[in-house]
Homo-oligomer: A and B are copies of this chain.
Amino acid sequence: MVYTVGEMAKLLGVAASTLRYYDKEGLLPFVERSSGGIRMFRESDIEWLQVIGCMKKAGMSIKDIRQYIEMALQGDDTIDLRLAMFQRQQEVLKQQMAELQHTMEMVDYKCWYYETAKEAGTVDAPQKMELAEVPERFRKIRQELRTAPGTAATI
């Protein structure tokens, strides 16, 4: 089974223009063409496309992804480089995860803040509340919000 660019785009849930753009940027050197020049995606190309999608989600640029594709096409000599690339990406994702956790804590705090404000009818309720009255799990983030990053919360 082969697919045209429009069919593959539909299958993956992206725009056909996106796949053409990726091709132009050298991300799809493995896609073959018909005698008339039409792209013919093979079933096995889906894995490539999924990996590209994954790398994009991980925050990699088109340029970086192209490097990976080029390495992969070079064959087994580049296994070490590719391993290093994904290991590095693993670290990046860990970092992203930690940041996302932190952002979540901040938003959780803000939800508590406005729930408390809603009950009292004024933001003064949470805003002027003593730290000791604030639920324990929000104290750290509250202190942090009120000072510059890297500043000691208590002086």
Contacts and interface: CB of A to CB of B under 8 A. Distances in A.
Interface of A: 11-13, 46-47, 50-51, 54, 57-58, 76, 79-80, 82-83, 86-87, 89-90, 93, 96-97, 99-100, 103-104, 106-108, 110-111, 114-115, 117-118, 121-123, 144-151
A154 to B, nearest CB: 15
A55 B39 CA distance: 42
A145 B93 contact: no
A86 B114 contact: yes
Contact of A79 (B13, B83, B90, B118): B118
A50 B147 CA distance: 8
A76 B107 contact: no
Contact of A111 (B86, B111, B147, B148): B86
A114 B68 CA distance: 13
